[in-house]
Each structure stands twice: as C-alpha cells, then as structure tokens.
Amino acid sequence: QVQLVESGGGLVQAGGSLRLSCAASGRTSSINAMGWFRQAPGQERELVAAINSGGSTNYADSVKGRFTISRDNAKNTMYLQMNSLQPEDTAVYYCAARSGGYPSATPRNYNTWGQGAQVTVSS
C-alpha cells in the first residue's frame, strides 16, 4: 500500500505563488509516475502536471510556463511550484501515483490518491 499526503495549499492573491508538496510512504518502490490533478466545484478532475521517475513530464496547456513539477526520489516527495496564479486556478489539488511509467493525463490510470489540498486565488 502507498499513502500520499499533500501540503502547502492556501489562499493567495492573483499573481502570487504557492508550492505544493506530496509525500509518499509505504510501498514506495511500486511508484513510477506521479501527478497533480485539480478539481473545481462542478467540474471534472483534470491533469495539472505529471512526472515519471526518469523526469519526463506532462503539463496541461493552461499551466505551461507558470507551474513546474519536480520530484525528489530519495525523499519520496513530489512538488508543484505554482507562479503567476490566477483565480481560475482555484481548486482542490490532488496528488496521485501509479505503477506505470507514462505520466498520464487520465485520472483513472492512477490507483493511489491523496486527500487533496485547497488552493484559492483571490482577484
């Protein structure tokens, strides 16, 4: 079993920055790709960014150039640096992990999820 715990969410003004962290524990040797997804009220869960153990990444077009995903495999931790935040970035952000190697954009391809972290951007 793998457990994921997000931290770093909060309230920020438009144009500001936040960094999310996702710490993995348990059977971490089974993890290959990890990702950040977000879900706003009334909307489907969508990819923000994903990364595999080799460092290959996959970003949503809406965050390219503003957000950066990274991971420290030695610490079993993944990060999301979010800059130039906008009100439309407001959502619950979820960390996810899968045993497959492709940094998939499809939520159903991930079998382990964190509890979510609220990110609110005020205008």
> Residues 26-84: pLDDT tens digits?
999 999 999 999 999 999 999 999 999 999 999 999 999 999 999 999 999 999 999 99
The pLDDT mean for the chain works out to 97
Question: Which single residue is written with the structure tokens 């460092």?
Answer: 55
Structure confidence at residue 12 as a pLDDT band (50, 70, 90) = very high
Structure confidence at residue 114 as a pLDDT band (50, 70, 90) = very high
> What per-residue confidence (pLDDT) applies to 20?
98
> What per-residue confidence (pLDDT) applies to 48?
98
17 touches 85 (CB < 8 A)? yes
